[in-house]
Chains A and B, each alone.
Chain A
Amino acid sequence: MSMTDMGGRPGFADRLRDALPKLVLSPSVAIVAIFVYGFIFFTLYLSFTDSRILPSFGWVGWQNYENLFRIRAWDTAVTNLIIFGSLYIIICCALGLLLAILLDQKIRAEGFIRTIYLYPMALSFIVTGVAWKWFLDPGIGLEAVVQGWGWESFEFNWIKDGDMAIYTIVIAAVWQTSGFVMAMFLAGLRGIDSEMLKAAQIDGASTLALYRRIVIPQLRPAFMSAFVVLAHMAIKSYDLVIALTNGGPGTATEVPATFMYSYTFTRNQMGIGAASAVIMLMTIAAIIVPYLWSELREKK
């Protein structure tokens, strides 16, 4: 087509053809520019305003942040996130690594077992929450069942106990995600150079030493990925808390995500809600940005 206007200025058709790839990309870029970055700035701005039930643009400086850190419920939410997040990450990694190593011993029906370990990842957190909510309920669940079996003094009422309820969220979340972490470690194990292992074996290293000295250190990239994925899931945890404990008993299992929602939409403190969302974003960005940066640079 470009042959027709040889020698002249590039025609409209040529320019269109050159711009086509960028044109095709542009709707997505526009959507993300507005609905991700535009919205981030909008919420960031709101966190410095006197917004209550609706967005309002009266500037109040750092007021919302100062108030936020004085609110007892936010304190609870942050403490809970630290407890939940660290236990969730540590237990998922430990369990995931253990299962991956066990499955890497030339197991018969490995694929079948893997399928069972991983299926909770396909479920909604709401479904997981409902199942565990009633399973852990002392009136009908585990406690009642074990008592019914004859162990009359057996007690397991964490989900009703303000001090222990946060650990029930760890239990349900670990159940849902640990199979996924197992799959990540298993992929890492399969990528390890077996020549090196054979050499170490000939040198007489024990199985335990092999894993500790050679295998586990080589799983560092898998550990990194698992940490980033789990940390970001922990900070975003919302559905599971709502379904399992609804933030209760009282406010015992409040986390930042539930705090943001209730302050913004039910307590009409939109400025404070926006401030809490900004803090969530900063925390996630501190984890994700360096990770994406290194991943995308390596690709080049």
Chain B
Amino acid sequence: MANTSTNPSAAVGRTKASSLSAAVPRIILYTVLVLFCIYYLLPLYVMVVNSLKPLEEITAGGMMALPNEWTIAPWGSAWSTAQIGVDATGLRPYFVNSLVMVIPAVALSTILGALNGYVLTKWAFRGSTLLFGLLLFGCFIPFQMVLIPMARILGLTGLAGSVPGLVFVHLVYGIGFSTLYFRNYYAAFPTELVRAAQIDGAGFFTIFWRILLPSSGPIAVVCIIWQFTNIWNDFLFGASFSDFDSQPMTVALNNLVQSSTGVKEYNVHFAGAIMAALPTLLVYIVAGRYFVRGLMAGSVKG
């Protein structure tokens, strides 16, 4: 986003001599913006602060206060000893499940998306736009529509309740968005370069490998981040198609929090929630620009 601001008031402000009366609106403006920052950060503050204090401090009504006694015990408990389902395993095995699920699913859907985008823009054929529309519509359907047959198919193929089964499901429903990203990106890539290479005798894959792929870095990052965030954060497929051994992090976290046995260990719940949030949050902090681009491409379409 460039600095071409549309703000009329700033332009007006420049024509007048800056005075105290001109500064007052700016102070109000910044105050409002900071208040909203507090609003967005509050739940994160609550999670972090309460994951670092003993349970008694929370139940005594001190949710908003800093810990009197700092402790990392809730983190240890959430990671390796908390009761989830039948076993007291902590969230660690489920964190591993999510990693093992997300890496191949992201890699495969990104590769397929890149190839699809290449074909749909540089080798377009009659009906390819319609075909793309049909691929894209698949991203928006309510997945309740596919739960029943997918459960059957996974059962029949022996993939039910396994991490490979989840990888497959995420791959299938991730293709639409990754195709969208690469298609829109490659559409802006000069087709003359592709035609020139063709005349020089370069084939389909050579052109892709030598000409398009080297300049695909930014969109690949956008696509990988989007798929990673989506698949890591998925709950519906994880809840529907996994069993106790293959549950992803989101499902395990929900089980931890909803479990009705014993004392509710809020501090452990908050620590677990941060663990589930950390991978996507880190990606967002490191590569937020690309994350936003992905979001926008999925809605406003570049």
Q: Please give the residue numbers on chain A whose beta carbons come within 8 Å of chain B beta carbons, in ascending order.
A: 17, 20-22, 24-25, 27-29, 31-32, 35-40, 42-43, 46, 55, 99, 102-107, 113, 115-135, 139-141, 144-145, 147-148, 175, 179-180, 183-184, 186-187, 189-190, 192, 194, 197-198, 200-201, 207, 210-211, 215, 221-222, 225-226, 228-229, 232, 235-236, 238-239, 242-243, 246, 256-257, 260-261, 264-265, 270, 273-274, 276-278, 280-281, 284-285, 288-289, 292-293, 295-296, 299-300
Contacts and interface: CB of A to CB of B under 8 A. Distances in A.
A123 B277 contact: yes
The 6 residue pairs across chains A and B that have the minimum distance between CB atoms: A21-B123, A124-B233, A122-B284, A36-B138, A148-B61, A239-B235
B141 A132 contact: no
Given A102-B32, A243-B235, A274-B148, 13 more contacts: A25-B115, A25-B119, A36-B137, A36-B141, A119-B40, A123-B281, A140-B266, A148-B61, A190-B6, A194-B4, A210-B8, A280-B142, A281-B145
Contact of A32 (B50, B148, B176, B233): B176
Contacts of A246: 258
B148 A106 contact: no
B83 interface: no
Interface of B: 1-2, 4-12, 29-30, 32-33, 36-37, 39-44, 46-47, 50, 58-59, 61-64, 112, 115-116, 118-120, 123, 125, 129, 131-138, 140-150, 152, 172-173, 175-176, 179, 187, 203-204, 229, 232-233, 235-236, 239-240, 250, 253-254, 257-258, 266, 269-270, 272-273, 276-277, 280-281, 283-285, 288, 291-292, 295-296, 298-301
Contact of B144 (A135, A180, A277): A277
A239 B31 CA distance: 34
Given A134-B270, A147-B61, A239-B235, A201 B146 contact: no
A106 B5 contact: yes
